[in-house]
Structure formats: C-alpha cells, structure tokens
Copies of this chain bind each other. A is one copy, B any other.
Amino acid sequence: MNAEIIAIGSELLTPHRWDTNSLFLTAQLNQIGVDVVFKTVAGDDRSRLTETIALAWKRSDIVITIGGLGPTEDDVTRECVAAALGKRLQRDDSIAKRLASRFRSRGMMMPEINLRQAMVFEGAIVLPNQKGTAPGLWIEEKGKILILLPGPPRELHPMFQTDCIPRLEKLLPPSAIRTRVLRLTGLTESAADEMIAPVYTKYANPVTTILASLGEIQVHLKSTGADEAQAMALLDEVSPQLEKILRDYVFSNTGESLEEVAGKALRANGGTMATAESCTGGLLAQRITSVPGSSAYFLGGMVCYSNTIKKEWVGVAEKVLKDHGAVSAAVASALAEGVRRLAGSTFGVGITGIAGPDGGSAEKPVGLVYLAVAEAHGTQVLEKRYLGDRDTIRWQASQTALDMLRRALMRSVN
C-alpha cells in the first residue's frame, strides 16, 4: 500500500512556516512498510482543497490530512472531505459533551463555534485527542483509508502512534522498509554512479538513489521485506558490494558526518589535533568542535588571516612567505607543522587559499587552496581548485581537510 499526505493551512504556503508533521508520519509509515508517494500543501481555499482530496482519494491507498480541524471558519478540512467523498456530516453528541466538559474543567464556557469539532462522517471512527480539542477521524471504504489528523505535532504524534499505526498494521500484509545511507567524498555524482550502476541496477529491491550535496555524495538504499530481518538481509546483500567498489571514498555507512568519523578515528587511536586556518577562517575548527566530546582530541586552532599573524603566531618563516607567497604548498605545510608543534598534538592541519570574491590572479585564481596534514613522520600537501562562491569554496576546503585527516588516520591504523 502507498500513502499520500496533505498538509492543510494557508500559513504553510508562506515563506515562514513549513510542514514537519509529514516527516514524522513518513518515518512511522515506512516502519510498517508503507511508502509515501505524494505530499501536498494546500491552503484553506475550499474548492482547491476539495479537488486535492478527491484526487488523492482516487490515486492513493492511504490518504492522511493534517490540520484544518479547529473550530474557526477557516478550518475547512471536514467540509472538504465530505464534499470530495460525497459524505454527510452529523453531530456526534458524545464528542460535543466531552468538548463542553473540557471547557468547564478549565472554568470556561464553550463557544458555540466549537461544536464544529463534534461533526463526524457517518460510519467514521472517531480518534480521541488526548492533548487537544479536535478529534481525528478514520474513514475506511473499498480497501482505502482516509485519516484526518489535527495539525499541532503534540496532538498528532500520539494520535497517530496509538490509534492509527495498530489499525494500519492489521490491514497490511506484514512487511518492513529499511534504509541505509553511504556517505562519500572525493567523487562526483556521475563518477560514483558510473562505478556502482552495474551492480545496483541488477536489484529492484533495494532501490538505490544517488544524491549530491556540496563536497559530498550520498548513496541511499531502501529495501522492502516481509519483515525487518528480510529487509535488513536485502541491504546486507547489496550494500557491501557497493562499499567494496567505492572503497575508501565511503566515509560512513551509519549516517555519521565527516567530522564525527574523523573525531571517532582520532579518539580510537588516542590521537590529538590542532588547526591553522587562513581562508577557511575557523570553519574547520568550528566543524570539528561541533561534535560533542571533541575536547578529548581537539586541542586548539589558529585563524591566521594576516601574514604578520602567520609569522608571529604559527612561526611561518618570512622567507617562505616571500619566496612562495601566502597561498602556497610551502605555507600550508608550515602552518600544519607549526600549529602541531605549538599544540603538541599528533596531527596538525594547515589551510591557505583564496576564497574570493576578490584577491585572485591569473596565476593564483579564486578557489585555489592548499591543504596540509602534518604528522610525526612527515607532512602531506594537496593543491585544490574549487569552483563556486566564497562560502562554497570555504566549505569544500574544510571537507577536503577533514577527509585528508580521516585518510591519514586510516593509514596510521593500518
């Protein structure tokens, strides 16, 4: 069975609010083997919403509406579902009584308008709301299901978990969906695809999707099985094959970020680190220290923007700066080695480059960055030419530096 989610409310069509309920519902549905195939956000325009519900009812097995169950005039979900499915609304006196007593218990009279929340469809199941006034509704017809849920997450979550998931499970063939995400850096999307397509295209289950973001590629595997064990077995069959092809480009198959992976490796081998950054301006240190517990391995960092600071703080020699320029492999090495010595750490990382938008030349264009990782037995340097704007270049440089560190740690383990 597949599902479709309709989030209702004009505020969800402004630049300032977005629907997060559907993420929760999707996670819950995936657990019991239901795919979400459409998500729609609609306002409280009655004709548009009625059409949207009618279409969903036609094309999807399970339709879930979120919101629009309040007492006011712009809470139109009940009326629009009635119109879309050709159903009549009638007052449920037990709900009306509960509503009235809820108001009384808070020392208030129930406004007449709240009786709208006691209107239900003939034959529908009422889903009690433990946390608010609007009850949910469950309609089952010709093997299809329509569920009306209230918008506030603290009302929707328990209602869906307690009253909907068990009902759905009874109707579904036993099945489970499981996902695994391989995170990679150092490859382009198309290169990764060319490498693994020969394998993943052989499998319809799990479904493999490749996603690119800045300095990272993700390979998503999604398997469907009769139960969790079967779904996991499908992942365990395909994922290792892809990981073998993608080799050490894969930095995580558990969802961990590059800074978490590098930090964990440092922790595991008892190492420490320090950073000396020019063009990234502290971004590398900030990413490393964003991981809880990073004080166990991160000792300190320097942001050396001016040449004077590079000399006076990190001890980069005047001659090196003069002979090679501040943006050079020699200065990146001197920064990595200098900060390693100053901090007394196992690793030192140095970055110097031109993040732009100004400061580039024909010989040293914007995007040129040198990165160095210093260890006891020597220093490794990379020259990179990144494309993009200032933020993009800085991010990619921090990503490369973390990956160099990860690879240095892999070598020192082996």
Contacts and interface: CB of A to CB of B under 8 A. Distances in A.
A240 interface: no
Nearest to A7: B39
B214 A154 contact: yes
A191 interface: yes
A303 B285 contact: yes
B18 A18 contact: yes
A413 interface: no
Interface stretch (A29-37, A140-148, A229-237, A399-407): A29-37
For chain A, the bracket of interface size reads 35 or more
Which label, helix, strand, loop or mixed, suits the secondary structure of the A interface? mixed
Interface of A: 9-16, 18-20, 22-24, 26-27, 30, 35-45, 48, 51-52, 55, 59, 70-74, 106, 108, 111, 113-114, 131, 152, 154, 179, 181, 188-191, 193-194, 197, 207, 209-214, 220, 222, 275, 277, 280-286, 288-290, 292-295, 298-306, 308-309, 312-313, 342-344, 356-359, 385, 387-392, 394
Contact of A289 (B179, B292, B305): B305
A189 to B, nearest CB: 7
Contacts of A299: 305-306, 308-309
Query: How many protomers of this protein does the assembly include?
Result: 2
B300 A313 contact: yes
B304 A300 contact: yes
A14 B154 CA distance: 21
Contact of A282 (B24, B193, B303, B359): B303
B42 A38 contact: yes
A275 B295 CA distance: 19
A188 B9 CA distance: 19
Given A209-B10, A309-B300, A40 B37 contact: no
A302 B305 contact: no
A352 B19 CA distance: 35
Nearest to A392: B154
B41 A48 contact: no
Q: In this complex, which of A40, A42, A342 has the most chain B Cβ atoms within 10 angstroms of its Cβ?
A: A40
A256 to B, nearest CB: 14
